[in-house]
Structure formats: C-alpha cells, structure tokens
Structure 1
Amino acid sequence: MNHRAGSSDGRFGLGEPRGPDFVAPPPTPVWPVDTSPAPAPPPVPESAPARRASRIMVAAILAAALTGGVAGAAGGLLTGDREAGPLAQSTAGPANGAGDLSDVAARVQPSVVSIEVRSGSSRGTGSGFVIDRAGHILTNAHVVEGGGTATVVLADRRRVTARLLGADRANDLAVLSIAASDSPPPLAFGRSADVRVGDPVLALGSPLGLAGTVTSGIVSALSREVRLGDGDRQTALQTDASINPGNSGGPLVNARGEVVGVNTAIATLSRGGSGGSIGIGFAIPVDRAVDGAQRIIR
C-alpha cells in the first residue's frame, strides 16, 4: 500500500519508507554503535514476534513532502532559445572551513528555490537550486514525480512556472527549467575528491515549507551505502546537518559555498517512516549530481 506524503489540505508528511534498515545491537541501542568484538551471550530461546519487537529499524526515507506518481521520462531536450554549457566544478581543492558561515549562507541563499508541484487536489513540496545561467534548476526526482504543474518560488518570493526537462529516477535527480531572465545566479560546484569527513557544511532548502532555512553540520561519512530513488544501493554523503521533509533537492554546500551534495534522504527510528531529523541525513555526491544533471540537459 502506498502512503501519500502530501495532502489536499496542505499538511506535510513523509514519503513511503525506503532504503537501508539498520538493526541496533540489543539490549540497549547506543549511537554510534560500538563495533568492537564482545563475548557472545549464551543463547536464549526467543519467539519470532519477540525478536521482531526488539528490533529497532532505521529507514532512510525520502526527505520531502510530495505527491505520488511517476516521474518524467529520463532525459530531456532543450529547445531553441538557450544553450547550456558544461557545469563548472571548482579546482580550489579541499575547503578549510572558518567558524562563521553566515557569509556563505548569505551568498548561497538567493540561488536556492522552493518547488511546489500540484496534481489535482494533491500538493507536494521540495527544494532545488540554480545550476547555470540558462535557468536550469536541479532537484530530486521524487520531488516532481507526481507530475502536474511545477511552480518555482524564488528567494525574493517571486513565483514562476517551471518546465520539467527530465528525471533520472535511478539516481533521484531531476532538472526543471525556468526563463533565463527570471533565474538567479547559479551556484558553484565542488568536487567529490575534495570532500573530507569533518568538513563543515550547510544544508539549505524549505523544510516543511519554511523557505530560506539554513542548517549546519559536518560531513559524517563519505561513502555510506543507501538506496536512493528507484535504483540499487549506492554511496551517499552522510551529514549531521539537520534535514527534514521539504529539504529534498536542496544543496549541501561547503565553507566556500560550493555544492558538495544534493540533500535527498534522512534516517528515522520510526517503523512507519514518520518523524524528523535524528542527525543522520544523506546527500547525492556532487560528481554524480553534475553528471546526472548534464545527461538530462543534453
């Protein structure tokens, strides 16, 4: 049974639980888990229902309130009046973060947008960001999978109609297009090779419809295996920057304001997949995001 996240009265929810199930070691869950060897306890008979009851399932869920449905066909062709060059990535190397990231947030925020998708009486929301001067906006495929009409809300509160160029459901990426004359400046991209555990990062987006929200944290892990979109398990960045429903598709940026990931999922202790951030979020690594966006645009 599918569980809709968006609802006709505008309330926000969480998508159908998807992705990795973690089992915390009995008797008491400890986070992080101590992986050092321990003597095995003597076997104690336990019924199947009891074993199930003692299990704490941590599911990676899509971090957006969105409508159900099918995403646009993979790929998409540009027409006529605009040409988009290759997406540029920084060659500056690792970003050594300063303590105050307020200047970074101020530079990045104008290029981050809210995305509203309406299909019938259903409404879904998510986030995205401008990636070039041709008016292309990168987001998650699951944000726009309900189809219908997409509206982009810019940082200055202007509302513009967007066209879905295409979606890559296996990598949970999609590209929207707005008029170049309406487009804010694009964000710069970093490189996956320059991202390090412990790097300070900011997550930007519209959690629960709260546009312009910025949260901070660090890169917690570089190659965490999770299931994203409709594809197989693949590696993702893990961060403790707070990510909540509605953040999906927003950028994860480093201390220079360069995009190092696309926020896409969170982990939850809830069996049903509901709940907010517990400090474990996942982002699509920047190199994969750049490659996916360029394939869609072409």
Structure 2
Amino acid sequence: MSAVRTALVTGANQGLGRALAEGLAARLRPADLVLLTGRDAGRVDTAARQVAQAPGTRSRVAGRVLDVGDAGAVAACAGELAERYGGVDIVVSNAVAGLVPERSQAEQADEFIDVANGGTHAVLRSFGPVLRPGGRLIVVASSLGTLGRLPARLRPLFDGADLNQVESAVESWRRAIHAGTAQEAGWPLWVNVPSKVAQVAAVRAVAAERRARDLASGTLIASVCPGMVDTRASRPWFGDHGGAQSPSEAAGPVLDVVLAPEVDPARYGELIRFGEVLPWHGGTPPTEQEELVVP
C-alpha cells in the first residue's frame, strides 16, 4: 500500500460500520485518513467527531455524507478521492437498510435492495478502478450469501455471472416481489437471503475479472461475514442475544482481513468468516422457520 493510506467505510455512523471505522482509526498510522460515511449529515458529523476524539485513535478521521443507494453520488465520491489523494487504499462496503418485523418484507424490499445490493454494485463499479495497488475492497455480507442458500433452479442466475448479470438477476427478483410471484418463482421469503447471495456474487464477478493483476500487486477484493452482531438493526429479530457479538468484537476479524500484510490467493474473491473461506456452493435453502428468525 501507499505510504499514506486513505480508508473509507460506508454505513459507518453506528453499529458495525462505526466499529470498523474506530478499528481502522486505531490501527492505521497518524498520517492515514479514515473517512466515516453515512446518509445523515448530523449523525455522520457526530460519529466522526467522537471517533476522532476516542482515546485509541491514531489516524486522522473525517466524516462524509454518502448515500450508497445513489450510484451517481458514489461515483462522484470515488472520483473526488482519486483526484485529491490519487486513489483509495481501503474501502469497506458495509451500508445496509434495516428491516422491521412490523412491516411486510415486500413493503421494505426496495430500500433494502437499493442500499445492500445497489450500494454494493455502485461501490464495486466506482471504487474498484481507483483502488490503489495493494489495496483492499471488502463487502460486508453474511453466511447466508452462499449459493446453496437458494433453490437449485435459481442458482444459475448468480453462478459465474458477471456484474451486469448479477444486477439483472436482482432486478428480476425485485419485479417478482412487486408482482407477488417471488415465492412461486422460488425466491426465499426473507429478503436477506437473495440479497446476500447477490452481494457475494457481485464480489465474485468483479474479482474474477481482476484476479491476476490484483494478486500480482497484493490487492484484495473479498466479502466477509462478521457473524451475529448485537445492533439496533438485528435486535428486533432475536429473543436471545446471548450469543451475539458486540460491534467491536465483530469488527476485529474483519479488520484482520482488511489489514493482513499479504493476500492469501485462496481468500481472493471469496466469502470469509472468522478467517475461513465459506464454500460458494455450500449451504442449504433456509427452512420456513429459519426464514422467520434469521436476520
């Protein structure tokens, strides 16, 4: 990586995203810059100020308003950072829209897909080209993102797909939700499952195109599963949080991937959970009961 590094975390004003920004600010060097981003200017400013003043912070910290659901805004941000700093060294795509039990999945699908999937696509498209050699572009996903989580008839939509094909599959799923035909087509009721599969597929698509040159330059593109995390977004879906990690605990293994000095080719383009690669073709479709409780 470059002598002075620039890192950006999306969805970073609270929860896991904030913990990731805090961890980067504590583990990077004083000259490095951590950009903490989110949609709400007030929350972003407050979080950035608090992280900058935290006792363990070593690097510079700044807040920036960024709505990853707006592809134009993401492209503008990437272009500005490339012009100002010559590129970026670390990008962690973490933004997600929350789901609440009180409303149907269909009612919440658009915002969820726009942020989780549209945001992932925008970050990959805009920040991939400005990622400096030796950089890291990491998408926070889930163990629900393995291909085996989908019924067999839907898996070809994502297996070996390029980014445009992944995006097309996501939009086909969205149309089925609105048409009321998603369940008939085999899509899981819980929107998190197709969304996470699509996120991991998008990472794999971009990584497949870049693999040779990225490995030659020590650059890593991958997705990560942080495990169960106790956050405001996850709390409504669990009766017992006894086994959940705090955001800071969950951030640790993710940051270990981000800041590893060397790239393991076996991890490149893969979904990583606690340091181990989760097989892309692994997993099984969730049962109806699991769909009711898994965030």
Q: TM-score range by the shorter chain?
A: under 0.3
Larger strand fraction of residues: 1
Q: Please report the TM-score for the alignment, with normalisation by the length of structure 1.
A: 0.25
Provide TM-score, normalisation by structure 2. 0.25
Q: Structure 1 or 2: larger helix share?
A: 2
Q: Which has the larger radius of gyration?
A: 1
